[in-house]
């Protein structure tokens, strides 16, 4: 699917191979433990968002960098299978990024990430893709690529595009990046990190504190409690509840939420309306194993 008309959503971000091993318990230093068979899944926040949006029916494109290796081919295959436009996916320069994940019986995981080619996605790569940026309604970024590359996206952001930023893994954000976020989408942990000691204790306080440092709008995800939406244009913040579901695996649920939200605001929906749809997408995603494999279609979301 390579119609080069306008994209509903352009994701600029990471693409990783997730290498997962189940263990009875995580090893102590110097200790060897036996694990389950290795499973390899396509992952990375950028790749996850692009697949989640395409699965819902969005016209999605991805700008990312993968290695010229089997993991890179796996990631390109999974994007194309979902219907994502991969014209902006660059190949080479380093091995594909990898997340080494051990999961114990309680579902707790330990993760080591080797950024690989993700760390080689440069500001120059963003400038070279200006045609893709120019035709996107919404551009979504995360922090698994270099911060100067994210800053470059902000610097060249077309006036017609809306920027969605998920600051994960959390890092200090320059004022011009914060000011471009519309919305800044983050969980409680990321909100507390960005606000520091002045964080306060409630979603209302986090949202007010975050809006005070620059974003046009903020969406705070609260897991099973849904999401909290605050917009400088609409006045009072809104709590958006989540449907009750039996959570099986939360991997990638935040990426599915952010992708759904970004797509719907690009279609012109108010932020709270888009968030109400996105919490249902996130809820549907936690009922399946894995990240991309668990992302729902529009029909599956409607059935919730």
Q: Which residues contact 72 (CB under 8 A, 6 or more apart)?
A: 15, 66, 91, 96, 117
pLDDT at position 2 is 44
Domain residue spans of the chain: 7-302
- For residues 32-66, one letter each, b for 16 or more C-beta atoms within 10 angstroms of the residue's C-beta and e for the rest, the string is eeeeeeeeebbbbbbbbbbbbbbbbebbbbbbbbb
Per-residue pLDDT of the chain (304 residues), as tens digits, is 444 567 899 999 999 999 999 999 888 899 999 999 999 999 999 999 999 999 999 999 999 999 999 999 999 999 999 999 999 999 999 999 999 988 888 777 888 999 999 999 999 999 999 999 999 999 999 999 999 999 999 999 999 999 999 999 999 999 999 999 999 999 999 999 999 988 888 999 999 999 999 999 999 999 889 999 999 998 789 999 988 888 777 778 899 999 999 999 999 999 999 999 999 999 888 777 777 777 888 888 777 7
String of DSSP letters for 25-63: SPPPTT----B---EEEEE-HHHHHHHHHHHHT--EEEE
pLDDT at position 5 is 62
Cα 41 to Cα 163: distance, rounded to the nearest angstrom? 28
Instruction: Identify whether 255 is a catalytic site residue.
Output: yes
pTM for the complete prediction?
0.93
Do 43 and 142 touch, CB atoms closer than 8 A?
A: no
DSSP 241: P
Cα 109 to Cα 121: distance, rounded to the nearest angstrom? 27
Domain 7-302: give its CATH architecture.
Answer: 3-Layer(aba) Sandwich (3.40)
In terms of Cα–Cα distance, which of 85, 104, 113 is closest to 36?
Answer: 104
Q: Which residues contact 16 (CB under 8 A, 6 or more apart)?
A: 42, 43, 44, 47, 75, 96, 97, 98, 99, 113, 116, 118, 144
What's the token pair of residue 119? 């760390």
């Amino acid at each position: 699917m390579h119609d080069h008309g306008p994209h509903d959503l352009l994701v600029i971000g990471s693409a990783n191979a997730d290498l997962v091993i189940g263990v009875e318990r995580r090893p102590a230093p110097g200790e060897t433990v036996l694990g389950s068979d290795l499973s390899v899944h396509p992952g990375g926040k950028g790749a996850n968002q692009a697949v989640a949006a395409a699965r819902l029916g969005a016209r999605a494109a991805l700008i990312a960098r993968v290695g010229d290796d089997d993991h890179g081919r796996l990631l390109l295959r999974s994007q194309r299978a979902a219907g994502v436009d991969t014209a902006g996916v660059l190949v080479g320069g380093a091995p594909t990024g990898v997340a080494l994940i051990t999961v114990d019986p309680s579902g707790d995981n330990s993760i080591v990430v080797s950024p690989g080619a993700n760390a080689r996605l440069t500001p120059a790569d963003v400038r070279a893709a200006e045609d893709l940026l120019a035709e996107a309604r919404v551009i979504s970024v995360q922090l698994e690529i270099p911060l100067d590359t994210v800053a470059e996206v902000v610097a060249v952001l077309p006036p017609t595009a809306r920027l969605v930023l998920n600051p994960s893994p959390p890092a200090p954000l320059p004022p011009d990046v914060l000011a471009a976020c519309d919305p800044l989408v983050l969980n409680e942990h990321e909100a507390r990190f960005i606000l520091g000691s002045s964080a306060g204790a409630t979603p209302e306080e986090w949202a007010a504190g975050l809006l005070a440092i620059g974003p046009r709008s903020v969406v705070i995800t609260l897991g099973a409690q849904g999401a909290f939406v605050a917009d400088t244009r609409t006045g009072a913040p809104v709590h958006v509840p989540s449907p009750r579901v039996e959570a099986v695996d939360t991997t990638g649920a935040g990426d599915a939420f952010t992708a759904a939200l970004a797509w719907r605001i690009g279609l012109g929906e108010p932020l709270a309306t888009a968030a109400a749809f996105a919490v249902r997408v996130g809820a549907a995603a936690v009922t399946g194993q894995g990240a991309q494999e668990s992302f729902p279609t529009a029909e599956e979301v409607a059935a919730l």
